[in-house]
Amino acid sequence: MKAKMKGTLFATMMALSAIVLGACEPLLVLDPKGPQAQRQADDTMLLIYVMSAIVIAVFTIMAVMLYKYRASKQSPDYEPPHIEGNMLVEAICIGIPVIIVIFLSVVSVKSNYIVEAVPQGYEDTEPLVVYASSSNWKWHFSYPEENIETVNYLYIPAGRALEFRLYSHGPITSFWIPQLGGQKYAMADMETVLHLAADQPGEFMGRNGNFSGVGFAENTFLTTAMTQAEFDEWVQEVHETAEPLTEEIFEELLEPGHLGTSTYTGTHLEFSPPPGPHSPVSERDPNAEVGHE
């Protein structure tokens, strides 16, 4: 009777789990829309397959061993023989894990170099450079070539390489668009570079992936990928309708808090240059000082 009740309870729990999981949206990291994210999704699935195979093999061997060498199979006076060891079994138990670790290490190192470089297939395209800087609890996107700055939203052209130069006006944050690639830290007084690309138009959620205070949960932004023609039209529209970004406005934007989206002509890079050798100021004048004002 107890066995029957346990079986019923187990079946009910499995059914409920299937219903709950079936209602979940697909994981964004496994729904890639760019070459960097595709590489990482492929590696993630490879890890899942390898770990699943290991778990299945281990539990299968355990079940066989428990059944084959169960105590009830032997006579009451049975005494197990003294065994010194088996070289073949020991070689398998040590060798297979070593091979798995070496294989996964090679895959990980190779993928790391791939995702840190310009996306595959975009080597011959001129990248769009965007300075992505964070503050409590906002994202500022500066387009130096287009002379535009946006807050809490990002417009990008699909089918073109993207070069994000990341830094922070406050605590360490992490820039992350799961469907386009992995996350990377944005730090004060240091610039990091992240290469991404969107293969097709669409909307992708982005966020700060690193805890940076009480407003961390809402430190998000929406990324919209569009055709190059649509992107050029947006740039022209911004120059015709948006107000200029002044130092006073930017200082207000840096105040801790949550804001909606906003758009400006000009960027803060002129009066508050980013750290690092790629600063627009340092590129114009090698003798110019680079840093936060």
Q: Are β-strands 153-157 and 220-226 bridged in parallel, bridged antiparallel, or unpaired?
A: parallel
Q: At which residue do the structure tokens 């006073």 appear?
A: 248
Q: How far apart are CA 17 and CA 219, in angstroms?
A: 31
Which ranges of the chain would DSSP assign to H, the alpha helix?
Answer: 2-22, 35-68, 87-116, 228-241, 247-253, 280-284
Per-residue confidence (pLDDT) for residue 292, from 0 to 100: 33
Beta partners for residue 220, in sequence order: 207
Q: Of the given ranges (184-193, 206-215, 260-269, 273-282), which has the lowest mean pLDDT?
A: 273-282
> What is the C-alpha separation between 102 and 208, in angstroms, rounded?
33
pLDDT at 248: 96
Q: Does position 177 have pLDDT exceeding 90, yes or no?
A: yes
Tokens representing residue 14 in the block: 């499995």
Tokens (6 digits) for 228: 């190059």
CA–CA dist 22, 19 (Å, integer): 5
Tell me the torsion sign for CA atoms 148, 169, 223, 47.
Answer: positive
Residue percentage of the chain with pLDDT more than 70: 85
**Pair type for strands 138-143 and 161-168:** unpaired
Indicate whether 22 pLDDT > 60: no
CATH topology of domain 128-280: Immunoglobulin-like (2.60.40)
Q: Please, what's the b/e burial string for 92-126 (b: 16 or more CB within 10 A of its CB; e: otherwise)?
A: eeeeeeeeeeeeeeeeeeebeebbeebbeebeeee
Q: Which residues contact 281 (CB under 8 A, 6 or more apart)?
A: 269, 270, 273, 288, 290
CA dihedral 273, 277, 278, 281 (to 10 degrees): 40
Contacting residues for 264 by C-beta, under 8 A, at least 6 apart = 148, 149, 150, 242, 243, 244, 245, 249
Of the candidates 175, 181, 138, which has an alpha carbon nearest to the alpha carbon of residue 268? Answer: 138
Band (pLDDT 50/70/90 cuts) for residue 18 is low
Are the C-beta atoms of residues 197 and 35 closer than 8 Å to each other?
Answer: yes
Q: Which of 293, 244, 242 is nearest to 266 (CA)?
A: 244
pLDDT in tens, 68-97: 878 777 777 878 778 788 889 889 989 999
- 261's CB contacts (< 8 A; 6+ apart) are 150, 151, 152, 153
118 in Cβ contact with 127 (< 8 Å): yes
Q: What is the pLDDT of residues 258-274, one digit of tens each?
A: 889 999 999 999 999 99
| 155 touches 224 (CB < 8 A) | yes
Tally the C-alpha atoms within 13 A of residue 182's C-alpha that lie toward its C-beta. 18
Mean pLDDT, all residues of the chain:
87
Taking residue 51's Cβ as centre, other Cβ atoms within 10 Å add up to 12
What is residue 9's predicted lDDT score, i.e. its pLDDT? 62
